[in-house]
A and B are shown apart, each in its own frame.
Chain A
C-alpha cells in the first residue's frame, strides 16, 4: 500500500497516494488544469509550463504535472499570479507558432487553439510574431508524415513518443536556446531516416506540426470521375474508432454505419480488409506449419524460425532498419491491405468484368505507415499500384463530414460482395494478439482436427495491454498428416509497441528465447491504437476500442478464417490452395535491408 498524502486543491481536501502529482490531485477533484506537454502515455516533461499553479509557501509557481504531492500542501489553481503566467505563456507559444489556423489541417483539432480560445482577450497578438524571423521549411517528402516546424511548440511529445513507446528516436531535440527544434538526424527528411511511419507522433502532437499526408481530395476526384470504379476496403480497427471523430463515445462499434457512410460518399463497392485478413490467416497459418515441418523434420536451414507476422508496416520498416538479419524470419505474407489490393485489380476485376486500369483502390486504415506501404515498389503485383490511396480513420471522418452526412442517424448496412465477407478471426486483427489468436484458431484445427482448447475460441492469454505476452500451446492428438508435431509445444510471443518489439527481438538474438511464432504490432495496443486513429489516444481509449473489437468478434456467426465462404470460394476459383504459385505471385513478398542510422 502506498502512503497516503493529504492536501488541499482550491480549498478542497483530497487524499492521494505518495508519488502522485498535483495534476493527479486536481483531476481527482474535477479541477481542470490546462496542459500541453503532458500526455498520459509518456513520461513527465514539465516544459510547456501551461499547468503552473501556486503552492502556498513555494517560491514561484510550480508545474502541476511534475510536482509530487506532499503532506499538507495547499494548492491554488486559479490565482492572479497563475492566471497572469498562464496567459503570458499561451501568448508566448502563439508568438512562435504559425497561427494561420484557417488553412491548417488541424484547425479546430488543435490543443493550442483550444487554449487560445479559452484565454483569449486581446484582439491582437500580445507579442511579436517570431515565425517570419525563422527559416522554417515543411518536410513533405514522406508519403506518410508531414512535419511543419512553424507550428511546433516544442512540447516534445513526439520525441518522447518516438523514444519511449517506439524506441526508434527518429525525432530528437536539437540545438538550444532560440534555435532549439525537433529534428531528425542532420535535419534530413523523415523519408530518409529510420522513421517507421508509425504515426504515433501524429497522435500525440498537440498542434498541426506533425500530420499525416492526406489524400482526401485525390479520393474525391476519383469518386467524381465517371470512368473510374472506386473500391474501398476498411481495416478491422477503424470500425471501433471512427465514431470518436464523429461525436460518439470511444468503444462504439460502428461497422454498419461506416459501410452506409462509405456508400453515400460514393464508393462503387464497399469491401472489407477483414476478408483479406482471413486470407492472411490461411496463407500465414499454412506458412507457419510448413516452416515448422521444414525446420523441425526436414532440418532445412533456409526455413527460419521463429516466424514473425508481417501485417504491420511500421514493424516491417523497423525490422528493415534495425534487425535486417531477421528479414527471412518474417512471414512472406503481404499485409491484408496489400493482399486485398493485389486481388482487387485481379480476382475482383475478373469477377466483375472490370478493366483493372479503371479500378481505383482505396483503403481506410487506422495507420499512416500503410500509406508508405502502398507506395512500396514491392506492392504492384497486379501490374498496377495495388492500393492507390490510403486514408486514415481521421481522413474518412473528414470525408463523412464533408459529405454532409449525419453519421449517427445513418442506417446500418452490409459490406458488398465479393471480398466483403469476414469472420471474427479477422476482426480481432485490430487488437494486439489478434493475428496470433486467429492463426491459432485455424492452425490448431488443421493440425489436430479440433478447435483450439480455449472456451468459446477465446484465447485470452494473448489479449490485453501487457506489452509482451508469451503463450505456449501444446499440440496433442494430431491428425496423421501433421503427426510430426505430436506433443510439440508451440511457443509464441505477442508484442505491441516497437519498444516491446525490440525487447523481444533482442531476446531472440541473444538466444534467450526460442519462440516459434511472433506477433508484432508497431502501435501500442495494436491497430486500435494506430497512428491514423482518432486523437486523442490513451490507455483508457485503447482499452475501450479493444473491448469493442472482441465484442464484434464474439457476435460474428463465423469466427474461424478457414470457414469464411468467400475464402473457400477464392481458393476454389482462383488461388488453388494456400502457398500456391498464384498466391506467391500476388500475396507474398520479400523485404530488403535499410540503413540502420
Chain B
C-alpha cells in the first residue's frame, strides 16, 4: 500500500515528527482512509520513532480513531439520554433496514458504516447524528432516510 506510506509521510512532513504531533497525523489518516490500518499505524510508528504498541494504544483510546475498516461515510447516531428519549432507536432501526446492515457494520459496497456515539452536543435538537464531520439534527425516520439516500447517490 504505497499510498498509505505516502500519506503518512506527507502528514508527518506537515505536522512534525514529535509525539505531540501524533494525534494530528492519526486524524489526518482517518480523514483520508476513514480508519487506521496496521500498515498505516506501523508507518506512523516509523515516522515518529515510537513503538507500534504505543501508537496503537493511543489510537484505540479515541472513539473517532477507528482501527477497523470503515465505509466512506461513517454514520454515528447519538445514543445519550435525550436523543434516546427522542427516539434514536427508531432512527437506527430505519437506517439498518435501509442499508441492510446492523449497528457496527459496514455496507458491502464500503459506502456506509453505522455506529452509535456518545453525546455529541445536540441534545436540544435530538435525535442527532454525524455523517463523517457533518451534524444532522431533529431527525425523523423520513428525514434520516432521505439524508442517507442523498449520500448514497453521491
Interface of A toward B, CB cutoff 8 Å: 163, 168-176, 183-186, 193-194, 596-597
Contacts and interface: CB of A to CB of B under 8 A. Distances in A.
A175 B53 CA distance: 12
Contact of B57 (A168, A174, A194, A596): A174
Contact of A183 (B41, B42, B46, B53): B53
B53 A171 contact: yes
Nearest to A186: B38
The A interface is mostly helix, strand or loop, or mixed, namely: loop
A173 B51 contact: no
Interface of B: 38, 41-42, 45-46, 50-57, 60-61, 67
A321 to B, nearest CB: 10
14 contacts: A163-B51, A168-B51, A172-B51, A172-B56, A172-B57, A176-B60, A176-B61, A183-B56, A183-B57, A185-B38, A185-B56, A186-B67, A596-B46, A597-B45
Nearest to B36: A186
Chain B residues touching A, majority SS: helix
B60 A184 contact: no
Given A168-B51, A174-B60, 19 more contacts: A169-B50, A169-B54, A170-B51, A172-B57, A174-B57, A174-B61, A175-B60, A176-B60, A176-B61, A183-B56, A183-B57, A183-B60, A184-B53, A185-B42, A186-B38, A186-B41, A186-B56, A194-B51, A194-B52
B52 A185 contact: yes
Contact of B42 (A163, A174, A597): A597
Nearest to B42: A597
A194 to B, nearest CB: 7
Contacts of B50: 169
Given A596-B46, A597-B46, A169 B51 contact: yes
A487 B42 CA distance: 48
Contacts of A186: 38, 41, 56, 67
B81 to A, nearest CB: 18
Given A186-B38, A596-B46, A170 B61 contact: no
A173 B61 CA distance: 9
A491 B139 CA distance: 74
A194 B53 CA distance: 9
B50 to A, nearest CB: 8
Nearest to B38: A186
A174 B45 contact: no
Contacts of B57: 172-174, 183
A175 B45 CA distance: 18
A168 B56 CA distance: 14
Nearest to A169: B51
A343 B29 CA distance: 54
A184 B42 CA distance: 13
A299 B23 CA distance: 49
Nearest to B53: A172
B38 A172 contact: no
A596 B41 CA distance: 13
Query: Which one of B45, B46, B60 has the highest number of Cβ atoms from chain A below 10 Å of its Cβ?
Result: B60
Closest 9 CB pairs of A and B: A169-B51, A172-B57, A172-B53, A185-B52, A597-B52, A597-B42, A174-B60, A174-B57, A185-B53
B114 to A, nearest CB: 20
Contacts of A596: 46
A596 B49 CA distance: 10
A596 B61 CA distance: 23
Contacts of B56: 172, 174, 183, 185-186
A174 B41 CA distance: 14
A334 B45 CA distance: 32
Given A185-B38, A186-B38, A597-B45, A169 B61 contact: no
Contacts of B41: 185-186
B61 A172 contact: no
Nearest to B37: A186
A586 B56 CA distance: 42
A394 B51 CA distance: 30
A164 to B, nearest CB: 12
Nearest to A176: B61
B67 to A, nearest CB: 7
Task: Name the residue among A168, A173, A185 with the largest chain B CB count within 10 angstroms.
Answer: A185
A78 B56 CA distance: 41
Nearest to B44: A597
A176 B45 CA distance: 21
B145 to A, nearest CB: 32
Contacts of B54: 163, 169, 172
A168 to B, nearest CB: 7
Contacts of A170: 51, 53
A169 B57 CA distance: 11
B9 to A, nearest CB: 15
Nearest to B58: A172
A209 B53 CA distance: 18
A193 B61 contact: no
B60 A193 contact: no
